[in-house]
Amino acid sequence: MPGFKIRIAPVEIAQPEAALRPLEFSQRWDSPYDNFGLRPAVSVFVTRPAYIRICVHACSADVEVGGVLVGQWCADEQTGEEFIVIKHVLPARHTRQGSVYLTFTQDTLVDLHDQIDKRFEGEKIVGWFHTHPRMGVFLSHYDTFLHHNFFPEPWQVALVVEPFSSVAGFFIRQENGVFDPTRYFGFHEMDGAFGRSVVRWQNLQKVEVESEGGSPYE
């Protein structure tokens, strides 16, 4: 048709939500690597229900298990610093697994996205987690490949849990893009400033509560 033109809209670039980091509602837990001068691209906040669900699922089998972490990706309204809030945990189904491996299949990914669309509309996959029974906290070559290919955003994290010795850590890309599969970071326990903490990972060190108040993420 003369004069007919096709216009291609620009690709929409995802943007973080504007919010204040809920530091006053949280208890910080540091890893042994948090004081090495590394600069992770995001800080991690975990609600108590999400932490408990991670621990329960991690202890559910002697073989590797895992799933995805669902919540919010935000930028602090005052400082611009980015952070994620892990609010929900979805165990991965339809996986292939053994004592030293966990494979997400196509059916796994379809099922996870279907669950998010039905149950957590408007929220994002902010990372994934899996266990390393009796192996320690690190990412294997395959884990690193999976992270780069299925969770490629700078703000998406990988959590490894070793349930038998009760240790864990978050692997986070640094601000300069470097991703170290041997050095992990701690996190902020939501509502950890009030009452008794639920965190039981032995390799993380509790730091002082920063302030008091009520949680906006309940």
In a domain, 213, yes or no: no
Please count the other Cβ atoms lying within 10 Å of the Cβ belonging to residue 10.
5
Q: What is the CB-side half-sphere exposure of residue 86 using CA atoms within 13 A? A: 30
Residues 6 or more apart in contact with residue 20 via CB below 8 angstroms:
76, 77, 78
pLDDT in tens, 6-21: 455 454 577 999 999 9
DSSP 151: S
Say if residue 189's pLDDT is above 60.
yes
Q: Which domain holds residue 109?
A: 23-206
Q: pTM of the predicted model, to two decimals?
A: 0.87
CB-neighbour burial class of residue 145 (10 A; exposed 0-12, middle 13-18, buried 19+): exposed
In a domain, 2, yes or no: no
Q: Which residue has the higher pLDDT, 195 or 128?
A: 128
In a domain, 100, yes or no: yes
Give the total residue count for the chain.
Answer: 218
Q: What is the CB-side half-sphere exposure of residue 80 using CA atoms within 13 A? A: 0
Helix (H), strand (E) at residue 49: helix 48-58
What pLDDT, on a 0 to 100 scale, did the predictor assign at position 172? 98
CA distance 204 to 185: 9
**Total tally of structural domains belonging to the chain:** 1
Residue 214 Cα to chain centre, angstroms: 23
Portion of the chain with pLDDT greater than 90, in percent: 69
In a domain, 187, yes or no: yes
In a domain, 3, yes or no: no
In a domain, 197, yes or no: yes
For range 63-92, the mean pLDDT? 95
What pLDDT, on a 0 to 100 scale, did the predictor assign at position 209? 54
- Read off φ and ψ for residue 189, nearest 5 degrees: -85, 115
Average pLDDT across the chain, whole number: 88
In a domain, 145, yes or no: yes
Say if residue 210's pLDDT is above 60.
no
In a domain, 89, yes or no: yes
3-state secondary structure of 23: helix
pLDDT in tens, 28-77: 999 999 988 889 999 999 999 999 999 999 998 888 999 999 999 999 99
With tokens 């996205």, the residue in question is: 113
CATH of the domain at 157: 3.40.140.10
Say if residue 3's pLDDT is above 60.
no
Portion of the chain with pLDDT greater than 70, in percent: 87
